[in-house]
Amino acid sequence: MTQALFVVNAGSSSIKFKIYGVAAQDHEHEDLDLIMGGQVDGIGSEPRLKVKDQAGAVLVDDKFPVEQLSTLSQAQTVIADWVTPRIKGFVIIGIGHRVVHGGSVYSKPVLVDDEVMHTLESFIPLAPLHQLGNLDPIRILRERRPDLPQVACFDTAFHHGHPELSDRFALPRELYEEGVRRYGFHGLSYEYVHGKMEQIDPGVAQGRLIIAHLGSGASICCLFGGRSIETTMGFTALDGLPMGTRSGTLDPGVVLHLIEQKGMKPEEVGNMLYKQSGLLGLSGISNDVRELLASDRQEANMAIDFFCQRVAQSMASLAVTINGLDGLVFTAGIGENAPEVRRRVIKHLNWSGLFIDDMANEARLPGPQGMRIEGAHSRVPIYVIPTDEEKMIGLHTLRLLRLLKKH
């Protein structure tokens, strides 16, 4: 029977999953073949199961009554019930999970046991919203399938070991010792895209590289020698760029003002900064770049301009950290699909010798190898490369399982 891996990427109201086939005969062969992928989203509000095959054809798209699907555990049952009879020809050899926080402990993926679970739970205060949602499926699957190895892959791990100057806030030293550090996130995406860059142009991949992960969550990372040197997200996924609904970097005095002068409670401030700010707050229209670009309202245009200027400013500032630039990559929902955003971002950087080719920029992404969009006179190449965090998790899981089998 063909071996397969299950990858789970769970949030607070959704579970995304992918199932990959593994080439069992050739242990050196590392690639994974997507069998199917899908998600349950709207858990607790408008639950919906949607699954597609490897070619993107929809296999199921079902809505559920909210009473039937209001917890992550119920969502997992729905997924398991649907998937199990459809993968009869495969034997699942392990499960890989996305876990947002590896704290300052984990610099690479880890096989989950009781002790690891305990350590991961101790990071919940560092990312209350995300970490709980990530750990729930691991706990539930450990109960249901104790026979299957489960691997935790961290969003923070890629940034582990970045320089001290990138790791600190200008706050009293004891806070740093307590864990108030600039961990950084989106590490699985950066690692995947960097891996692609190694195939496309190894020289640039090893040089001074900036990768912009622009999705509904957004951050930018600068790398040198393939390692993360600095990134715009810090202690939480709230830092750095303005995002769909998150504020990004903010004068901390605003938070004090909201609490002291407006009498807002911490959870109200949290809700505002995570859910009502960013592009949604700026425009008052939508958090979705597609909608904002399609709108002819001035507020929509201003929100996009604001986003693009911040992206360009952050790129310039990260280039300072790595002392120049050899290549730039756009990735994730906005980075891959919004040529207008890429155009406006690079326009802000023309002074530094970066130029875009309009025709190339408007072209459809040809596939996983991505495309180049710089103009003939651009000082450095500019790439658009689709990210695939689930595949990165799958690859990590496979590597770790094979390593453990050898020992």
Among 337, 361, 378, 397, binds ligand ADP (CB under 6 A): 337
Binding residues for ligand ADP, rule CB under 6 A, total: 12
Name the segment binding ligand ADP (CB under 6 A); options: 197-205, 260-268, 320-328, 329-337. 329-337
Distance CA 132, CA 12 (A): 8
Among 38, 133, 215, 234, binds ligand ADP (CB under 6 A): 215
Q: In this complex, which beta carbon is closest to ligand ADP, that of residue 74 or of residue 216?
A: 216
Q: In this complex, which beta carbon is closest to ligand ADP, that of residue 127 or of residue 325?
A: 127
- Provide the 3-class DSSP secondary structure of residue 159: helix
Distance CA 210, CA 277 (A): 26
Place of tokens 């691997």: 151
| Least gap, CB of 357 to ligand ADP (angstroms) | 19
Q: Is 106 exposed, middle or buried (0-12, 13-18, 19+ CB in 10 A)?
A: buried
| Least gap, CB of 25 to ligand ADP (angstroms) | 34
Residues 6+ positions from 279 with CB-CB distance below 8 Å? 242, 243, 244, 245, 286, 287, 288, 289, 292, 303, 304, 307
Whether residue 148 contacts residue 92, with contact meaning beta carbons closer than 8 Å, is answered with yes
Q: In this complex, which beta carbon is closest to ligand ADP, that of residue 207 or of residue 217?
A: 217
Among 334, 354, 392, 393, binds ligand ADP (CB under 6 A): 334
Q: Does 244 bind ligand ADP (CB under 6 A)?
A: yes
Q: Does 370 bind ligand ADP (CB under 6 A)?
A: no
Name the segment binding ligand ADP (CB under 6 A); options: 49-57, 227-235, 330-338, 396-404. 330-338
User: What is the side-by-side order of every strand in the sheet holding 371-372?
Assistant: 227-231, 218-224, 209-214, 327-331, 382-384, 371-372
Cβ-count burial 44-80 (b if 16+ within 10 Å, e if not): eeebbbbbbeeeeeeeeeeebeeeebeebebbbebbe
Residues 8-27 within binding reach of ligand ADP (CB under 6 A) = none
Distance CA 365, CA 330 (A): 12
Among 21, 96, 240, 333, binds ligand ADP (CB under 6 A): 333
| Least gap, CB of 143 to ligand ADP (angstroms) | 28
Distance CA 155, CA 162 (A): 14
Distance CA 303, CA 49 (A): 32
Name the segment binding ligand ADP (CB under 6 A); options: 58-66, 154-162, 167-175, 210-218. 210-218
Residues 274-303 within binding reach of ligand ADP (CB under 6 A) = 288-290
Distance CA 141, CA 26 (A): 28
Is 113 annotated in the active site?
no
Q: Does 144 bind ligand ADP (CB under 6 A)?
A: no
Q: In this complex, which beta carbon is closest to ligand ADP, that of residue 93 or of residue 303?
A: 303
Distance CA 267, CA 223 (A): 35
Instruction: Give the residue nearest to ligand ADP (CB).
Output: 333
Which of 53, 147, 155, 288 is the catalytic position? 155
Distance CA 44, CA 119 (A): 28
Quick one: which of 48, 21, 16 has its CA closest to 34?
21
Place of tokens 């911040």: 310
Give, to the nearest 10 degrees, the angle between helix 339-347 and helix 298-321. Answer: 60
- Provide the 3-class DSSP secondary structure of residue 32: strand
| Least gap, CB of 237 to ligand ADP (angstroms) | 10
Among 12, 70, 216, 249, binds ligand ADP (CB under 6 A): 216
Whether residue 171 contacts residue 223, with contact meaning beta carbons closer than 8 Å, is answered with no
| Least gap, CB of 9 to ligand ADP (angstroms) | 9
| Least gap, CB of 255 to ligand ADP (angstroms) | 24
Place of tokens 């860059």: 197
| Least gap, CB of 13 to ligand ADP (angstroms) | 12
Active-site positions read: 155
Which positions lie near ligand ADP, rule CB under 6 A? 215-217, 244, 288-290, 332-334, 337-338
